[in-house]
Chains A and B, each alone.
Chain A
């Protein structure tokens, strides 16, 4: 074996060990969810090959998991679309603006994402309560913009900057309005960026817990809150818990894996160029 191929196999081995460490808890949970519910408490039962969907049947028919699943979908998709619709024009403006402060504003907007959520949720709780908006999808959709908007604006600004000015100039000369140039030329150009941005916003919104826990009760409850309440009420029913946990996590993991390259870049918030 050459020295190089030995090193490659060594890397492969280390990479595999690392992968097992990173994936094991997740796969373990899925494994427990797929076992007959009485056998999940001892190791041999969990490691056996008896597969069963009873936990899923149980959790979907006897709990509110299905309706909260729908709530999560509605909220996540709505807030993502809203964030994109609001941030795309703003990002385009920041990217094209010749004024120096546009760049600083871009950073300021990003630092808003770093604000501690407790500070935002307390006032919102009081507002929503007085407007009778507690426990509605609307209040979550709007509040999630507090982290989705800053992030989208920042990320899309980068993408819009990458659209060459010459293309726009040509359109202007042809008599196109600014909005026309934006909608018909720039937006199609940055579609991959819009998708990447949307996926990340989707992930943030789907996974969000604190706001949802405080601002919703039964009607608009999202999946993470349901998991938390399951832990409280069904603490020892691991089959049910793991089935619910899998239902929450798997969709988002699948989406993330599909778009993974963009995600690291987006999460890195400027660390990577």
Chain B
């Protein structure tokens, strides 16, 4: 009876409430992407900034014929893979140690968000200062114990890993806090049942806690992965894609081609490639989230 009243209310209000937001979204998200898509099929004049005629898949062919593309994709995968894996393992391990209350734990949890909210540009700045081979803190500490610190950001063989380390530093708290919250909300019954059945702490952890935590963890890891693929700020500030092309991931390549060489059509093509990579991940996200809703 109660719900029948609201259903009889005209559905026109729905449109009025929703239309402004949807129109803006269409204008600032969907339309630009459609535009980028069409731009990726056309030529572009860097000199006059005019969009030229239809060239079919020529831009994509050029991109796929270029070895830099594959290197960039490989770097993106290495960056994303190691960063997400590293953060997840560290976050999981830490959260399993620290989720039971101890004196002051609330304060700690508040402070742990700092790395993920600091402006990424500032994160890059700070780590550039730390990584400085001569004056930076890290190498100074290494020197004091007799080790020669490397050129973290100028050595082509380790520059990518230096950036990965910064990304891990920045985002482990995110996964860590989510794990903590997830562990907090675990139902007690299965844990108690397992203890009663004689399971050791370690067994309880492996066979009860982690499976229960899994749904929460996988969405968080998925979100982190999608964000890691699109990382730009810290890499740009730390190395600008260098030394050479050592840290040139796909987003960096897109920026380089699009806004430093001003081949906007190449930038558009790369952005579509990035979209193609992200879409399956987003679909996974939708699938995981709605499964979770139905479970709840």
B219 near A270: Cβ-Cβ < 8 Å? yes
Give CA–CA (A98, B8) in the complex, Å: 11
Considering only residues 1-45 of chain B, those with a C-beta below 8 Å from chain A are 2-3, 5-7, 9, 13-14, 16-18, 20-22, 24-25, 28-33, 35-36, 39
Please tell me which one of the listed residues A42, A145, A263 contacts residue B135 in the complex, with CB atoms under 8 A apart. Answer: A42
Q: Which residues of A are in contact with B by a Cβ distance under 8 Å? A: 7-9, 11-12, 14-16, 18-19, 21-23, 25-26, 28-29, 32, 40-43, 46, 86-87, 89-90, 92-94, 96-98, 103, 107, 109, 111-112, 114-126, 129, 142-143, 145-146, 149-150, 153, 165-166, 168-169, 172-173, 178-179, 182, 203, 206-207, 209-210, 214, 223-224, 227-228, 231, 238, 241-242, 245-246, 248-249, 252-253, 256-257, 260-261, 263-265, 267-273
Q: Helix, strand, loop or mixed for chain B's interface?
A: helix
Considering only residues 250-290 of chain B, those with a C-beta below 8 Å from chain A are 251, 254-255, 258-259, 264, 267-268, 270-272, 274-275, 278, 281-282, 285-286, 289-290
Q: Could you tell me the distance in whole angstroms from the C-beta of B127 to the nearest C-beta in chain A? A: 6
The interface residues of chain B lying within 8 Å CB-to-CB of A103 are 290
Give CA–CA (A206, B129) in the complex, Å: 22
B116 close to chain A: CB less than 8 A: yes
**Count of chain B residues with a beta carbon within 8 Å of a chain A beta carbon:** 102
Proximity bits, B79-108, A CB within 8 Å = 1, else 0:
000000000000000100110101111001
B103 near A12: Cβ-Cβ < 8 Å? yes
B275 near A116: Cβ-Cβ < 8 Å? yes
B118 near A264: Cβ-Cβ < 8 Å? no
Give CA–CA (A166, B173) in the complex, Å: 40
Considering only residues 193-233 of chain B, those with a C-beta below 8 Å from chain A are 216-217, 219-220, 223, 226, 230, 232-233
B122 close to chain A: CB less than 8 A: yes
B129 near A129: Cβ-Cβ < 8 Å? no
Q: Could you tell me the distance in whole angstroms from the C-beta of B33 to the nearest C-beta in chain A? A: 5
Q: Could you tell me the distance in whole angstroms from the C-beta of A223 to the nearest C-beta in chain B? A: 7
Given that A115-B29, A270-B289 are contacting pairs, would A123 and B24 also be in contact in the complex, using a CB cutoff of 8 Å? no
Across the two chains, which residue of chain B brings its CB closest to A177?
B13
Please tell me which one of the listed residues B25, B98, B109, B292 contacts residue A273 in the complex, with CB atoms under 8 A apart. Answer: B292
The interface residues of chain B lying within 8 Å CB-to-CB of A25 are 115, 123, 126-127, 130, 169
Give CA–CA (A166, B125) in the complex, Å: 53
Q: Helix, strand, loop or mixed for chain A's interface?
A: helix
B17 near A89: Cβ-Cβ < 8 Å? yes
The interface residues of chain A lying within 8 Å CB-to-CB of B14 are 93, 97
The interface residues of chain B lying within 8 Å CB-to-CB of A107 are 286, 289-290
The interface residues of chain A lying within 8 Å CB-to-CB of B25 are 109, 112, 145-146, 149-150
A115 near B275: Cβ-Cβ < 8 Å? yes
Given that A122-B271, A123-B39 are contacting pairs, would A227 and B100 also be in contact in the complex, using a CB cutoff of 8 Å? no
The interface residues of chain B lying within 8 Å CB-to-CB of A168 are 6
B110 close to chain A: CB less than 8 A: yes
Max count, chain B CB within 10 A of own CB: residue among A103, A178, A179: A178
Across the two chains, which residue of chain A brings its CB closest to B295?
A273
Pairs across A and B, CB under 8 Å, 12 listed? A11-B98, A15-B104, A43-B137, A86-B21, A120-B32, A122-B271, A145-B25, A238-B135, A245-B122, A270-B289, A271-B178, A272-B181
B254 near A228: Cβ-Cβ < 8 Å? no
B110 near A257: Cβ-Cβ < 8 Å? yes
The interface residues of chain B lying within 8 Å CB-to-CB of A253 are 114, 117-118
The interface residues of chain A lying within 8 Å CB-to-CB of B94 are 14, 18
Across the two chains, which residue of chain A brings its CB closest to B218?
A271
Proximity bits, B139-180, A CB within 8 Å = 1, else 0:
010000000000000000000000000000100111001100
A111 near B286: Cβ-Cβ < 8 Å? yes
Q: Which A-B residue pairs are the 6 nearest by beta carbons?
A: A119-B271, A90-B21, A123-B35, A89-B17, A93-B17, A116-B274
B105 near A15: Cβ-Cβ < 8 Å? yes
Q: Could you tell me the distance in whole angstroms from the C-beta of A218 to the nearest C-beta in chain B? A: 17
A263 near B117: Cβ-Cβ < 8 Å? yes
Please tell me which one of the listed residues A43, A172, A231 contacts residue B9 in the complex, with CB atoms under 8 A apart. Answer: A172
The interface residues of chain B lying within 8 Å CB-to-CB of A12 are 102-104
Contacts A172-B6, A228-B236 aside, 8 further interface pairs with beta carbons under 8 A come to A15-B105, A16-B108, A43-B140, A122-B36, A122-B268, A123-B31, A124-B32, A271-B223
Across the two chains, which residue of chain B brings its CB closest to A255?
B117
The interface residues of chain A lying within 8 Å CB-to-CB of B122 are 29, 224, 227, 245-246, 248-249
The interface residues of chain B lying within 8 Å CB-to-CB of A121 are 32
The interface residues of chain A lying within 8 Å CB-to-CB of B116 are 267
B129 near A241: Cβ-Cβ < 8 Å? yes
